[in-house]
Amino acid sequence: MAEYTKTPTNKLGRLAKRGAYDYETVHSIINTCPVLHVSFNDPNQPFPVVLPMLGCTGNYSNPSSDPNTTEQDIYIHGYVSGRIFQTSKETGDEGLPITVAASHMDGLVLALAPFHNSCNYRSSIVYGYATLLTDPEERLYAMTLITNNLLPTRWEKSRNPATTAELNSTSILKVRVASASAKVRTGGPHDDRADWKNEDLRTGTWTGVVPVWLQWGEPIPGKDNGKVEIEGYIERWRVKENQKGRVYAYEAIQKDD
């Protein structure tokens, strides 16, 4: 199984049993997460800069390769203050060291004692070097990838090609992955034997998991929309996403922790 090498940077310490390093787990969490949190150091302040951005994994040299089994870069696009792009310009060829975080909440785990409450979740943390993408061909590849990662085939089904002005005014970061890991919590609550044997407590306190997922609702047409009937590929995507999210959240409860 293709996976990331454990290093002092990505190796999980506490609760290491929840750790995963394989491409499939790390990349799928990133590619299904609607918002990525991109963090980097700003020499002018003690606090890291964190930006919510859109992005996904890709492999430009082998576009049809499977992200579950092949090396990936991360392409990131977003309306940002520009600081990250400015800073990445200044860092030169090696690129700006950044950390990309993606997390899904899958359920609230309720135990007899608050101390044992937990959450079912999936999170990926990727460490890499970000550079501003300049090659027009690869920029087009990345924009198509990011658009279709949000809604499959939307790029082809909406106006394209992009105009030169659009291509020039869109900033895209390419992150060369240095190291990565994922952490996944599944299952139900685990209580202390003492609490569990406390009959009054046990029969008086509901314990279990409340599953949670992202629910995509009935689409609302924009004021200038001219397509009376919503296209089938949008509805099929929406229904499928809702089902995938729900199924994962419920299946996670049945898995061991």
Contacts to a second copy from residues 78-117, by CB under 8 A: 79-83, 97-99, 101, 103, 105, 108, 110-115, 117
Q: Which residues pair with 174 in a beta bridge?
A: 75, 131
Q: Which of 147, 149, 173, 248 binds a second copy (CB under 8 A)?
A: 147
In the bound state with a second copy, the residue whose beta carbon lies nearer, of 2 and 16, is 16
Rounded to whole angstroms, the maximal C-alpha distance in the chain is: 70
In whole angstroms, the minimum distance from the beta carbon of 209 to a second copy comes to 5
What residues from 195 to 224 belong to the interface with a second copy (CB under 8 A)? Answer: 195-196, 198-199, 201-224
Determine if 160 is a binding residue for a second copy (CB under 8 A): yes
Left, alpha or beta for 242 (phi > 0: left; psi -120 to 50: alpha)?
alpha
Nearer to a second copy, 5 or 203 (CB): 203
Residue 92 vs residues 75, 81, 88, 150, 251: alpha-carbon distances, Å: 18, 20, 7, 30, 46
Instruction: Tell me which residue has tokens 């200038």.
Output: 224
Q: Sign (positive/negative) of CA torsion 93, 94, 98, 99?
A: positive
The binding track of 18-57 with respect to a second copy, each residue x by CB under 8 A or -, is ----------------xx-x-xxx--xxxxxxx-x-x---
- Give 1 or 46: the residue with its C-beta nearer to a second copy: 46
Residues between 62 and 81 that touch a second copy (CB under 8 A): 79-81
251 part of the interface to a second copy, by CB under 8 A: no
CA–CA gap between residue 166 and residue 182 (Å, rounded): 35
